[in-house]
Amino acid sequence: MARLTSLAAREEHTCLDGHEDKGPVLHRRTRIGRLDLELIEPGWAFARKWERAAHVTDASYVLALPLTGCVAFSQDGRVGTARPGEYVLLSELAFYELSSDKTARFLVLRIPAVELRGRLVSIEDHISRRFKPNERMTRLLAGMIGSVAELFIDCPPPNPQALATEIVGFVALTIGSEDRGAATDVRNARYHLRRRIVDFIESNLSDQSLSPKKIAASSRISLSYLYSLFNDNETTVSQFVQTKRLQRAYEILVADPKGHRTVSEVAYEVGFKNVSHFSRCFSRHFKIAPRDARQTPAAAQQAGTNVRPAQPKGSSSPQIASSRNAFDSPYWDVRKQPLHETF
């Protein structure tokens, strides 16, 4: 069971000196399709702990993007800070800590784990700032997500699921641009092999006979070695291919709002043999029917507001904890501990 402690909105808090603070809300959050986006403003220390989620389907990856100040993180024995122009990716599949002082303004984006794993091979290699981020791509990413927060933090976008797909795609692109050259603890040859395999899969999604055997033959490796490459991400070759096909289908549908191609045509185009099976898989993956993925903006906005944010199992209503020792941060002055809400 996952347990989360994090800063609540300022209007729900009592100040550290015991006096009520009537200032503005400094912690806002919204739902963009299947993504959770939080904007933490300066003026209040922030701290979050997350204990391991039970299964990958219940977990998310957490992307923290500092806009001003810096944030500190810890996961899997790695500790560090991220400043403007940088980011840190954390995983809910392992315990992590994230904190800041009162000067930081930053964004926190939660992406379902299955989404990033379907787009980027060896995503776990990028956890906790193992590689140097690409500066220009990071600036683009921060600008994109910052603009989304500015425009939609208080109201949903016209097509939240389509926007979520674009955000996830650009996050994967940015993470994939990280400089791995200085890393000595990751086998680069294995990484590049996985990259070639993914490129082959993406180029052959329409092939209904695409199989693990054919994929292995394309790179002249054995089936057992192919399976081991995907086991690194706790997935199978078939699951990875299906996720890629669903993502391709979603992109086709949202780019075709007038329905020039039927759902059946799209299903066959991305390699599914059975339309009913495609519809079931699509609805289970995106929480929306294929026919609704290209609906009008007004209807999409209404549908987007009906998606409830995923909560950890065993979660309950937020309760404020006022103990100064609730978060023993190794990064910030422990005499000025933040307050927490516990789920």
CATH number of the domain located at residue range(s) 4-182+320-342 in this protein = 2.60.120.10
pLDDT at 186 over 90: no
Q: Which residues in the chain are classed under CATH 2.60.120.10?
A: 4-182+320-342
pLDDT digits (tens, 9 = 90+) for 274-299: 999 999 999 988 878 998 887 644 44
pLDDT digits (tens, 9 = 90+) for 28-77: 889 999 999 999 988 877 888 777 777 888 889 999 999 999 999 988 76
**Residue length of the chain:** 343
Looking at residue 276, its pLDDT comes to 95
Distance between terminal CA atoms of the chain?
11
pLDDT digits (tens, 9 = 90+) for 106-148: 999 999 998 888 887 778 888 888 788 889 999 999 999 999 9
Q: Is 319 exposed, middle or buried (0-12, 13-18, 19+ CB in 10 A)?
A: exposed
pLDDT at 192 over 70: yes
pLDDT at 320 over 50: no
Highest mean pLDDT among 267-276, 306-315, 328-337: 267-276
More reliable by pLDDT, 103 or 268? 268
Question: Which residues have C-beta within 8 Å of that of residue 17, sequence separation ≥ 6?
Answer: none
pTM: 0.59
Read off the pLDDT band of 233 (50, 70, 90).
low
How far is residue 46's CA from residue 97's CA, in Å, rounded to a whole number?
Answer: 11
Looking at residue 232, its pLDDT comes to 64
Strand pairing class (78-82; 71-75):
antiparallel
Q: Which residues in the chain are classed under CATH 1.10.10.60?
A: 188-305
pLDDT digits (tens, 9 = 90+) for 65-111: 999 999 999 887 678 899 998 999 999 988 888 999 888 999 999 99
Q: Are 289 and 279 in contact (CB under 8 A)?
A: yes
Q: Encoding tokens for residue 167?
A: 């955000």
Superfamily of 188-305 according to CATH: Homeodomain-like (1.10.10.60)
Looking at residue 196, its pLDDT comes to 87
Greatest Cα-to-Cα distance within the chain, rounded to the nearest angstrom:
68
Looking at residue 126, its pLDDT comes to 86
pLDDT at 191 over 80: no
Looking at residue 251, its pLDDT comes to 83
How far is residue 8's CA from residue 25's CA, in Å, rounded to a whole number?
Answer: 9
Percent of the chain's residues with pLDDT above 90: 34
How far is residue 182's CA from residue 188's CA, in Å, rounded to a whole number?
Answer: 10
